Chain A
Amino acid sequence: MKLPRTIIIEMAVIVVFASAIGLIWNRQMLSESWTGKVNRTVPTATPTTERLPLPLGVMQVKELFDRGEGYFLDARDSATFEKGRIRGARSLPLGEFEARLPEFLKQVPRTMPLVIYCNGYGCHDSMDLGKKLIRAGYWEVFIFEGGYPEWKEAGYPVEGTQP
C-alpha cells in the first residue's frame, strides 16, 4: 500500500506536535536525566506534583560506587540481604520502613544521594521505597532497576554469607 503524500505530512505533524507537548511537559525530568543530577533546590511551597526516583543503569551505578558517592540501600528483607548484597550496602526493607525511618533520618542526612535496589526488573520494592524516602524529604533518590542480580552478573563487588 502506497501512502499518499498528505497522510505522510499529517503523520509528521501529529508526531512533531505530540512530541513537543511531551518534551515541554517533561522538561524537568529530561534535564535531570541529561545532567544526571536531581534539582537540589528545596521547594518553598508544597510541590503540586509528586517527585519520583530516577532509574539508573548498571554503568552509572558502578560509577557512583567507584567514586564512593551515594548511599546504597537494599530494599529486600533482612534474610536475603544477609545472604548477598552489593558491597557496603545498608538494609532498609520496604516492609520495615515505618518502624526504621526515625533512626534512618538521624543517621543519613537528607542531602545524601541514595541508590536503592532490590531483586531486579521484576521487583518494585526499590521504586516504592524510593517514593517513600522522597516523601520523607530525601532529595537525590536513584533506583538501580537491574538490582542485585544484574550487579552480581556483571561481576561487581558483593558480600554476604552466600553472595
Chain B
Amino acid sequence: MTDTAQKYLALALRIVLGGVFLYAGGLKIADPAAFAGSVAAYKLLPTFGNYLVAATLPWVEVLCGLLLVTGYRVRAGATLILLMNLVFAVALSSAIVRGLDIDCGCFRQGGPKTSPWIALLRDLAFIAGTVVLLWQDTCRAKPPDA
C-alpha cells in the first residue's frame, strides 16, 4: 500500500472509531442510571460495581474517542479502545453462554433491544479496525529502512 493510501486509511479509521466511542460514551453520560441498569443486567458485578462502571466507563470512552478524532496520543487512545472492546466482547460472550436475554446497553439506553450476538459481531469489527489502526501507526513510526 502506498504511503498516501495508508495515511488516509489511518485517518478514516481514527475518525470512525473515535466517532463511535464519542457517540457511545455521550449517550451513556446523558443517562448514567439507565446505563447502570444495563450493566446490572449482565449480572457480572456487585450492585455498587455496576454504578461505579456506569459513572466512569463512559468518560473513558469519550476521552479516548476525542483523542482518536483529534489525532493526539493516538496509540494510547487506540490501545485503550482495543482493551475496552476486548472486555465488552468477553462480557457479551458470557451473556450469550449464560443465555441472558438482555439489551447490550452499548449505545442508547432503553428503546429497542440489540441482541448480544449483533453487539458481539459489531464489537469484533471494532477490534479489527483498532488492530489495523495500531499496526499502521507502528509501521509508520519505524524508519523506512528498519
Binding site for B on A (CB under 8 A): 1, 3, 7, 10-11, 14-15, 17-19, 21-23, 25-26, 29-30, 33-34, 52-57, 60, 120-122, 124, 127, 143, 145
Contact = CB atoms under 8 A, between A and B. Distances in A.
Given A7-B75, A22-B55, A25-B59, A34 B48 contact: yes
Nearest to B131: A1
A48 to B, nearest CB: 14
Contact of B103 (A17, A30, A60, A121): A121
A1 B83 CA distance: 14
Given A7-B79, A11-B76, A11-B79, A60 B47 contact: yes
Contacts of B47: 33, 56-57, 60
A10 B73 contact: yes
A53 B33 CA distance: 7
A18 B59 contact: yes
Interface in B74-94: 75-77, 79-80
B106 interface: no
Contacts of B60: 14-15, 18-19, 22
